[in-house]
Amino acid sequence: MASLTEWKVPPAFQPRAQDYGFDLDRTLSAVVGLHAIVPQDAFSANTLGTERGGNGVLIDNGLVLTVNYLITEAETVWLHLGDGRVMEGHPLGVDQESGLGLVQALGSLDIEPLALGSSNATQIGDRVVVAGVGGRTRSLAARIAAKQEFAGYWEYALDEAIFTFPAHPNWGGTGLISTGGELIGIGSLQIERASEGRSEHLNMMIPIDLLKPVLGDLRKFGRVNKPARPWLGVFTAEADDKVIVAGMSPKGPAARAELKEGDVIVAVNDEKVSTQREFYQAFWTLGPAGVDVPLTLYREGDTFNVVLTSTDRTRMQKKPRLH
């Protein structure tokens, strides 16, 4: 695998120490590279791959915060420090609702953790640093472009995500750092939006405030200690105020119920839905994983009902091996 730090952010977009009221280089040293190895037979291998690379941020003694898709079902995780050292880590746990994940370093990193700030206190227009492993040359001076709800095609939604511009090219697990030098988010995605007749790319960041209520559980149990949300294993798209089936996870409830690509999801439990977020909220509120989810579908001129028995998606996934 190529080095995680071979590329560089163009100099004009790199953060400058004089623009911030904190020690920029020391703060950026808390960002590490992450290389995860996932078994070929893992549930997520076909969609996310068996080798995954990105970033993470040290937030406590040996505890690295990242985005969950990088470490889901990983059997081996390597942490690449900015000074060239490499250390093995243990995938401690993931939170499906927020999209965050934790790795425990199996040794002393000997770097200062980054303090957690308040993502709720941020405002549109705030100056931020989107930090990747390798210091200033792999980090980006950016601003908060938007704070709004987000829904993804894989049964994922946030009440308020943070969007930054310009976009970091190696966004997965990047640290979103405030003007006070605190961690206020973790990089998840790159998205495209139209602006003044042209398209531009932004990063979607998971707000750090979502970590605080679940951090204790993730450290202790490797998961959030509450009933899991129901999962259907359906990928969706939005078009013309309709929620459309775009695909399904193999062996998931939707695939077993023989949903088809192109089906329009009209309603959940007789509640009409027209957006992905409405669809998710409608069945998430029916009960925990295992609850029956009645759907009304439209297919090739016919409207019909089907009941899916939901499940906990983590039961389909491999558990981290103990070290």
pTM of the predicted structure, to 2 decimals: 0.94
Mean pLDDT, residues 15-23 taken together? 93
* pLDDT per residue as tens digits for the range 98-122: 999 999 999 999 999 999 999 999 9
CATH 1.10.510.10 fits 10-225, yes or no: no
Instruction: List every span in the chain annotated with CATH 2.40.10.120.
Output: 10-225
User: Phi/psi of residue 181, each to 5°?
Assistant: 80, 20
Q: Which structure tokens are listed for 157?
A: 């939604």
CATH T-level topology, domain 234-316: Pdz3 Domain (2.30.42)
Instruction: List every span in the chain annotated with CATH 2.30.42.10.
Output: 234-316
DSSP 8-state assignment for residue 136:
G
pLDDT value of residue 3: 47
> Residue 61, SS3?
coil
User: How many Å apart are CA 26 and CA 130, to the nearest integer?
Assistant: 15
β-pairing, 264-268 vs 242-248, is antiparallel
pLDDT value of residue 155: 97
Angle among Cα 9, 10, 12 to the nearest 5 degrees reads 120
User: How many Å apart are CA 241 and CA 72, to the nearest integer?
Assistant: 32
User: Phi/psi of residue 322, each to 5°?
Assistant: -80, 145
H-only helix segments in 115-243: 215-221
* pLDDT per residue as tens digits for the range 180-203: 999 999 999 999 988 777 889 999
Q: Where are the beta strands (DSSP E) in the chain?
A: 31-37, 51-60, 63-67, 76-80, 86-95, 100-105, 127-131, 140-152, 156-165, 175-177, 183-195, 198-207, 234-239, 242-248, 264-268, 271-272, 292-299, 302-309
| Confidence check: pLDDT of 2 > 50 | no
Task: Give the N- to C-terminal CA distance of the chain in Å, as an integer.
Answer: 24
Of 270 and 6, which is predicted with more confidence? 270
Q: Please, which contacts does 286-291 make with residues 24 or more away whose CB atoms are closer than 8 Å?
A: 286/230, 287/230, 288/227, 288/228, 288/229, 288/230, 289/227, 289/228, 289/229, 289/230, 289/231, 289/313, 290/230, 291/230
pLDDT value of residue 323: 53
Burial 296-318 (b: 16+ CB within 10 A, else e): bbbeeeeeeeeebebbbbbebeb
